[in-house]
Amino acid sequence: MTEQRERQIIQQAFDAGLSGLQGDPFLVRRVLNGADKKAARSGRRRLSAVLLILTALLLTAATAYAVSRAVLSPRVDANQAANRALEEKYGLTAAMLGFFERDSAPLSDEQHRRVDYFPPEGKLGARLGKYSVWVANGQAEWAEWTLDGKSTAGGFDAPAWGAEQLEEMVKITGKTHDMSRFYRFLSGEEVDLYEGMDEAEADAPSEEGWAEADADIRAEAEAFRRETEEAGKPYKAQSRFTEEELIALGRQGIIEAYGLNEAQQQRLQYMNTDFFISYYSSIGADDRPTFSMTFQSGGEGGWQPGDGIYTVVVNVLDGTVEYLEYDTTLNGNG
């Protein structure tokens, strides 16, 4: 390679970095490695020490920039736009949406999607209703509720349960971890929905009970781990990031998508255990290689907003967050 070509490559890397890192930051690393090898063979450095230092600094800045700002896929972007729309129009927070199952489907293309929030079946679902949001190019255009027009006044005796009731459900289930009381209440039983709110946490299962449950789960998890490791080898080989970088990108995606504050970020921990397995796979009709991982948020003081389980899927070629799901652990996925 000529000196002129080497200078062109470095200039391209600098231009890419300084214009928002839209180019190939991995090119910088290849230039550095190549320069060192050539210097060793020829006994002279074609690239000045200043250029090498600046290039290395650019690489460091590029890595920091990539992790400090998550790139969300159209699907994830649309889901978050839909969440924001429901909070603006109906006052629903991420914790409240944990009582619904979300489904996001493209319409004319990936940039135009309809995001639906399905309630549980039966009488509880009839009170909660279904929410739908239409999103175009990352912006919510319209949001509706199947119970629009029905009264939410009167607490849990209201014909429609909106933000007021959902807020109380978050408080109750966050403390008691008991959803059954709402089903019993709607079935006509005499139920004190706030019973146990001032009591200590319920006793955990016995050690023998945990051991028996763990043995079955561990066996299934180990089989799943072996299967995914083997199936994921071709996708792992394509990765342009280290696993540490992918984990950082996944974590940043959660923080940005759900707006976690510093206290919530402190409670957010990456999990790769018998029960939460990270693995390489692919997504989409074009078989995009990805890394799937799980984060868990929780700690002392019982359930708090932002706590729960986050599933994140990151594209190993460009770092895009392809999929993101939040399970509040209060009832379902939000």
Contact 203, 177 (CB under 8 A): no
Do 95 and 64 share a structural domain? Answer: no
Q: Which of 288, 286, 328 is nearest to 311 (CA)?
A: 328
Residue 133 lies in a domain: yes
Do 93 and 49 share a structural domain? Answer: no
Q: What is the mean pLDDT of the chain?
A: 81
- pLDDT at position 54, please? 52
More confident residue, 55 or 131: 131
| Residue that terminates a domain, selected from 68, 95, 112 | 68
- pLDDT at position 217, please? 74
Residue 70 has pLDDT above 60, yes or no: yes
Do 179 and 257 share a structural domain? Answer: no
**What does the buried/exposed string (b/e) look like for 226-241 if buried means 16 or more CB atoms within 10 Å of the residue's CB?**
eebeeebeebeeebbb
Do 111 and 48 share a structural domain? Answer: no
- Structure confidence by residue, pLDDT tens digits, 115-143: 999 998 899 999 999 999 999 999 999 99
Helix axes 3-18, 49-68, angle to 10 degrees: 30
> In angstroms, rounded to a whole number, what is the distance separating the alpha carbons of residues 297 and 237?
30
Instruction: Name the token pair of 33.
Output: 């490695």
Do 249 and 315 share a structural domain? Answer: yes
Residue 205 lies in a domain: no
Residue 111 has pLDDT above 70, yes or no: yes
Do 88 and 51 share a structural domain? Answer: no
> In angstroms, rounded to a whole number, what is the distance separating the alpha carbons of residues 178 and 68?
38
| Residues in contact with 97: Cβ distance below 8 Å, sequence separation at least 6, in sequence order | 83, 86, 117, 334
Residue 191 lies in a domain: no
Residue 55's Cα: distance from chain center in Å? Answer: 32
- pLDDT at position 26, please? 44
- pLDDT at position 177, please? 83
Residue 11 lies in a domain: yes
Kindly state the average pLDDT of the residues 53-79. Answer: 66
The mean-pLDDT minimum among 57-71, 126-140, 250-264 falls in: 57-71
Kindly state the average pLDDT of the residues 279-299. Answer: 93
- pLDDT at position 212, please? 64
- Structure confidence by residue, pLDDT tens digits, 73-95: 999 999 999 999 999 999 999 99
- pLDDT at position 198, please? 75
Residue 193 lies in a domain: no
| 52, 127, 154, 241, 306 from 165: Cα distances, Å | 61, 10, 9, 44, 19
Q: Which of 150, 144, 163 is nearest to 93 (CA)?
A: 163
Residue 300 confidence class, pLDDT cut points 50, 70, 90: confident
Do 84 and 179 share a structural domain? Answer: yes
Kindly state the average pLDDT of the residues 153-179. Answer: 94
| 152, 276, 288, 325 from 225: Cα distances, Å | 47, 10, 21, 21
- pLDDT at position 200, please? 53
- pLDDT at position 68, please? 56
**What does the buried/exposed string (b/e) look like for 298-323 if buried means 16 or more CB atoms within 10 Å of the residue's CB?**
beeeebbbbbbbbbbbbbbeebbbbb
| Residue that terminates a domain, selected from 186, 202, 229 | 186
Count of domains observed in the chain: 3
Q: Which of 190, 196, 219, 222 is nearest to 302 (CA)?
A: 196
Do 78 and 61 share a structural domain? Answer: no
- pLDDT at position 271, please? 92
Q: Which of 163, 101, 165, 170 is nearest to 332 (CA)?
A: 101
Contact 321, 253 (CB under 8 A): yes
Residue 11 confidence class, pLDDT cut points 50, 70, 90: very low
> What does pTM read for this prediction?
0.72
Residue 108 has pLDDT above 90, yes or no: no
Q: CA angle at residue 259 from 125 to 105, to 5 degrees?
A: 50
Do 91 and 54 share a structural domain? Answer: no
What is the domain range of residue 64?
Answer: 3-68
